[in-house]
Amino acid sequence: MFKEVLYREIFLVPVICGLLIQGIKLILQCVAERKFKLDVVTQADGMPNLHSAVFSSLSMSIGMKYGFSSILFSVVAAYSAIIIHDTMRLKGEKVKQTNVLNRIISSNESYQDITEDGELRTLRFKPLDVLSGTVLGIIGAYCFL
């Protein structure tokens, strides 16, 4: 059963695209900051965005395999659009929450040991990050399928 699921290209394309996106993210981060930071691989935010890459590659794979006018593609594309939209909306809410928590941390010295800098990190889902993840996911699905 597990072998059948693992060897289906519809399952493997988003997984491979996700792994490649995280590799690209690691390379871009290392070049930008001029130091190796392996923890970037475990983060979904940043350039390119993991959520948008995985779900756009899934939608593209299903569209190419079953047709872009199929009901399956319509359902997956609708879910993918909702997930990508929610990724963008998540940023605004996380920034608000992080700002409130940072004010609490900075006003009380007993909370200073929560993070190294005394401030929490904000998730960075920017429109360009999400767009680049979407484009790379579509290109990856086209190349792998």
For the chain, residues with pLDDT lower than 70 are 1-7, 91-92, 109-125
Q: What pLDDT, on the 0 to 100 scale, is given for residue 78?
A: 97
Q: What is the pLDDT of residue 106?
A: 72
For residue 111, the model assigns a pLDDT of 61
Tokens 């484009």 — which residue?
Answer: 135
The pLDDT of residue 46: 76
Alpha-carbon distance of 37 to 39, in angstroms, equals: 6
DSSP notation for 78-90: HHHHHHHHHHHHH
Under 8 Å between Cβ of 86 and 52:
no
Q: Tell me, what's the pLDDT at 71?
A: 96
Residue where the block lists tokens 């993840």: 133
Whole-number Å distance between alpha carbons of 125 and 88 = 6
Q: What is the pLDDT of residue 88?
A: 77
